[in-house]
Amino acid sequence: MKKVLGIAIALIILLSACSTSTLSFKEVDRVPKSVQENINPNYKLQSIRDGKKGSYIIFHSRGDVESKLVPQGNKVVIKFKVLNGDDNSIKRYVYYLTTESKHDVLEVLVNGKSIPFDEIRS
């Protein structure tokens, strides 16, 4: 009985250590210094991996932004809607994205139009 219990506990520990990422996308206020040092204000769209399970998505805009994450099979689509885009000052929006192993394509739409990343850092 003790042997079975020991194996069960070891299996639980192993499985919890190998947990997979879940799909999530949220705006963040605090950004690690290592990421801050790599943000380029001249880029409109930038992705910086954190070395763990996710990436910081940096979006610079001349207006307020609404964001939405839409999974589509193996693809993840980030939709940004720029409101009152005539603002003279550029605002920085930082999001943290984690994906599942089945997601291997990332697309970003701004007001319905697909845009490329200016830089992707690992």
- 102: which residues sit within 8 A by CB, 6+ positions away? 73, 74
Domain residue spans of the chain: 21-121
Q: What residue spans of 1-122 are helical by DSSP H?
A: 2-17, 33-36
Q: What are phi and psi of 10, to 5 degrees?
A: -65, -40
Terminal-residue alpha carbon distance, the chain? 47
* Interatomic CA distance for residues 109 and 44, integer angstroms: 12
User: Using alpha carbons only, how large is the chain's radius of gyration in Å?
Assistant: 19
* Interatomic CA distance for residues 39 and 55, integer angstroms: 13
* Interatomic CA distance for residues 65 and 61, integer angstroms: 8
Coil, strand or helix at 102: coil
Q: Encode the chain (122 residues) as per-residue pLDDT tens digits.
A: 545 444 445 444 444 444 456 899 999 999 999 899 999 999 999 999 987 789 999 999 998 999 999 999 899 999 999 998 676 789 999 999 998 888 889 999 999 999 999 999 88
- The confidence score (pLDDT) of residue 21 equals 66
